[in-house]
Every structure is written in structure tokens, then in C-alpha cells.
Amino acid sequence: MMKWKKSLAVAGSLLIIATLSAQKKSIVKPNPATAAQPKIIIGMMVDQMRWDYLYRFQSRYTEGGFKRLLREGFSCENTLIDYAPTVTACGHTCVYTGSVPAIHGIAGNDWYDRVKGKVVGCVNDDSVTIVGSTGGTGQSPRNNLSTTITDQLRIATNYQSKTVGIAIKDRASILPAGHAATAAFWFSPGDGNFITSTYYMKELPDWAKRFNEKKIIDTYCENDWETLYPVNTYTSSTADDKTYENVSNGDAKPVFPHRLKQFKGKNYGAIRTTPYGNTLTFDFAKAAIDGYNLGGGGFTDFLAISFSSPDAIGHVYGPNSIEQEDNFLRFDKELADFFTYLDRRFGKGNYLYFITADHGVSESPGYYLENKMPSGAIDDKDFSNLVSGLKEKFVIENPILSFNNDQIYMNWGEFDKKGIDHKEVERFIKKILLQSPGIADVLATESLGTAPVPEPIKSMLIKGYNVKRGGDFDILPQPAWKAGNIKGASHGSWYPYDAHIPLVWMGWKIKPGYTNRVIGMTDISPTLAALLHIQAPSGAIGQPIIEITNITGSPN
């Protein structure tokens, strides 16, 4: 049965690739309406950007960054992720497929593969190798079982549109860029280069080689990370040194300044937990636009760019830290510079831009507790006690295969050999785990449709569960509880702090305004498809956002 499932999953991926190849061979004349299309679409995702960051630091934002975006753009104020788990790989894939993990198969940043008997990464691909660096696992989008809006753009223009993905994280670049991408590039912490894989090309383009050779990252390491303004003016944040903040990059305490000079030429991964990760990403994005002449041809091009540093900073220091405030104040200034660059290169109104996030984040449990609000940390011992309890009660050496994505992967084969009823095991698991004050419920995934939980939780769990790649039980944490300890911050749940994300459109055919109507993350790609008059991705379940697509005049 497992071999059959593996064959079916592989066949699904091969079918997508074969379809793309077949369509590529067809002869399509240039669309006579091309002149009415945007020169380029800039899809910008900010990793761990909670919706309220649009406004929280607004008094210190520049006029040309987030303020311009809200002034000239259209903001979908109540955009929600419509599935769980709310993690990076799922978020990037759902935005660009208009689909959910149940369909596109990206069930988490990684998941337990029952056929391979191990945890696999969402973009790991042993059939390809790294280009631009040495060592490491090859990466590709093959685990995504749906096409993306970037794929559909390539298909619609007979592959004359160029689509490029860029991010510090590999998955944040690869999954948005799509199966048929011109290229996807991500960051190599060992040598500080942007790299790719043989899925896309045999060697880096000359412009990318020149960028890497400049070692711009050394300049950022030389600067260290000081606050943009005097540290005592950061009144939207907590004090610089809080006991519930973690430390990174060898710091003794979570306080400014954060030293980076020591990592120059040695550990470039340190840049990820500083705003300079954003700066470097902007630098490479501009180099890619110039290098590929994106937006300079007869067809709409697409740059999918994701900023990974806010996520790294948020996990370590939390959303109320001076570090995160300083990060977004810097990001705002860089966003303003980027808009100026786009205006000069393409002209206002000739590019379509949108910004969103892959997920939000909770406050640090330590922050909640300090302010007398309910929160806490789910002790890892709760799960080790479950394993030992299952071993003792059912006399099974290896009862659980993996804990992943707040799910439990059971070794049912061993239970079945002894004729043990699955329902009896379920009752025992609930009895043990529900003793933890931080666990709200444990649900059998095979019966999510009848689970005694209210909406929208039930629908979000169903949409987020992939039959072939998901576990056997979903663990639901209590609001604001985090696994491990009370330090730092995390995400992944259905709760609003994780699921409420920004979505603002600006540029080509976008009229200023806003709506508080509920809009799903999965509506983004269908909206782009409607605007461009192209087919939505193969697994899309979202709907076009009528406030964006209901443009006065003929649909032609």
C-alpha cells in the first residue's frame, strides 16, 4: 500500500511537470493586450509580519514606505490564513497556489515520510545538486503538487514571461517561484552567496556571480547592529533586556549593540537575525531585475521576493522587542527606497505590487505572564511521558514515529500486529496529553470532519491536513502557549495572532481604499489570475477579491 501511495505522489508531480512541458511546446502569439498589462508584478512576502505591524510603528514610519503603501494602495485589512499549521512553507505555497496543504501537499516546513521512514524537508530533492556553493542538499519545488500563479503566467505567455524567486530561506524562494520558474535563488550561510540548484540551471548567471564576488555582506558585518535611533526612544517596545528574550550569534545578553564583525568571512548565517538580511535581499532583488531585465520585455514578468529576517528576529527576541521595532523601522526606509527604484525603472502605474506574510506570531509567553495574562510553555516532558506511557501500557518498543507540525505520527503497524484497537490508543493519548495545562485538545485526524470543535478551527485543520503527509493526531495548544519554554516567540496555530496577516495592493489599476471584509490567503492568486486574464493555479480554491478585480470598464 505504501509503495502505491509513493507512486501516486510521484505521478502527481510528474503530471504537473509534463503538462507544463507540453504547453511550452505549443505556439502562442503575443497577446495583443500586452500593453495593457503591468510590466512586472512584485509579490513581496515578509516572514512573520503580523497585520498590526502596518500600524504599530506608524508614527515613526517614513512617508514613502508603509505610509505610502496605505495611502496609495488598497488594503485588505481582515486577511486571514484559512488553514493550520501557519508556518513558512505552507504560507508561501498557499499564497502562490491559491490552495491549501490538503491539496498542494506542502504540509509543513518538513514532515515525516512514512515510505522513506524519516523526516523530509519541504523542498529537499536528492535528484538535484546545489549551484553556486559546495555541499548541502539539493532543492526544488517538486514536492508541491499544484501549479502556482507564476507557473500559470509562464504558460499563458508561452514561457516568454520571466519569473524569479528570491529569499534568504530556500523554501521562501523556491515555492513561490513555481515549477516552471526562470530561476530561484536563496542564501548560503557558509559563504554568504546567493545560490540555486541544477533544477533551474547548471551555473549561476554572470550577474549573480558578480554580485556574490562583491561580498557586500562583509560591509554589513563591519557595521554591527546598532539601533537606528537612540535606544531610549523606542517607546513602542519593552525594555532592551528582558529575561524572556533569547540571545543569538554568541551574545551574552539580548541587548544592543549586536556584534557582527566577528562573523565576517566565517559565519554569514548570523546576518539572518539582523535587519541586514533584509538589506541584502533588497540588494540582490535589484541585481536580479537588472540582470534579467525583468519588466523590460513584451510580456509581464514576476518577481517573488520574501524577507526572512523578521522571522528570525521575532523567534529570538519576540514581537515586543526593540530588535523587532528597529527591524521594521529600517525595513520601512528600505521599502521606500525600493518603491523609488521601481518608480524610476518602470514608471508609476506600470508595475503591480502586493505585500503579505506567510504567518504572524504570538507574543512571548514570558511577556504575557509578566503582564498577568494567560500563557505558558508546554513542557517537552509531556511528550516524552506519552512515549514511555505507550511503551509500558501496550508493550510496544517504538509506538510513535515522529512529532511534527503539532501532529503525532503513530507506528500503527506495531499496534496492529498485537490487535490493539486504535480507539483505545486514542483514549490513552488524550488522557496523558490533556493533563498538560497548555494543551487544549487532541484530535484524531481521520475524523476531523466530525471533531467536536467549533468553526473556523475545524475547517482550518481539515484544509491544513494532507492525507499522505500528515500525522494521526492534531495537538491543539491553548491560546498563547508555546512548546519548549517561555523565551522567544513562535507561531503555527489557528489563533488570530498567527493567522491575521497584512495584504496591501499598489500600482497597476489599483485604486486607493480598504476593506474589512474577511479575505483568505488563498484568494491572492485567483485575484492575480483575474487581473491578468489567465488561468488560476491547478489546485486553487480561493476566489478573486472583488474590490481589486472589479475595475470599471471592459474586461478586455
Question: What is the per-residue pLDDT across 230-289, written as a single tens digit (0 to 9) for each?
Answer: 999 999 999 999 999 999 998 999 999 999 988 888 889 999 999 999 999 999 999 999
Nearest to 436 by CA among 476, 379, 474, 489: 379
Q: What nine digits make up the cell of 304?
A: 517573488
Instruction: In whole angstroms, give the CA distance from residue 346 to residue 283.
Output: 18
Say yes or no to pLDDT of 179 above 60.
Answer: yes
Question: Rounded to 5 degrees, what angle do the CA atoms 283, 284, 290 make?
Answer: 95
Assess contact for 503 and 371: CB atoms under 8 A: no
User: What CA–CA distance (Å, rounded) separates 191 from 193?
Assistant: 6
Domain-wise residue ranges, the chain: 38-361+496-549, 380-435+439-477
- Find how far residue 199's CA is from the centre of its chain: 21
Active site residue 88: yes
**What's the rounded mean pLDDT across residues 118-133?**
96
What is the predicted pLDDT for the residue at 136?
76
Specify the pLDDT at position 551.
Answer: 62
What integer best gives the mean pLDDT of the chain?
Answer: 92
pLDDT of residue 223: 87
Q: Active-site residue among 79, 86, 88, 93?
A: 88
Conformation bin of residue 279: beta by default, left when phi > 0, alpha when psi is -120 to 50: alpha
| Whole-number Cα distances in Å, 551 to 43, 506, 509, 531, 535 | 20, 14, 8, 9, 18
Amino acid sitting at position 421? D
Which residues, other chains included, contact 141 with Cβ-Cβ below 8 Å and sequence gap of 6+? 123, 174, 175, 177, 178, 179, 181, 184, 199
Q: What is the pTM of this model?
A: 0.93
**What average pLDDT does this structure show over 125-137?**
90
Cα-only R_g, the chain: 23
Average pLDDT over residues 409-429: 97
User: End-to-end alpha-carbon separation of the chain, Å?
Assistant: 50
Helix (H, G, I), strand (E, B) or coil at 316: helix
- pLDDT tens-digit readout, 5-38: 444 444 445 444 444 444 443 333 433 333 489 9
Neighbours of 52 (CB within 10 A): 13
- Specify the CATH number for 380-435+439-477; select among 3.30.750.24, 3.30.200.20, 3.30.1360.150, 3.40.50.1820: 3.30.1360.150
Whole-number percent of the chain with pLDDT over 90: 89
The CATH H-level superfamily of 38-361+496-549 is Alkaline Phosphatase, subunit A (3.40.720.10)
Q: Number of C-alpha atoms within 13 angstroms, CB side, residue 136?
A: 22
What is the pLDDT at residue 553? 44
- Measured from the Cβ of residue 419, the count of other Cβ atoms closer than 10 Å reads 6
Task: Please give the Cα distance from 523 to 540 (Å, whole number).
Answer: 9
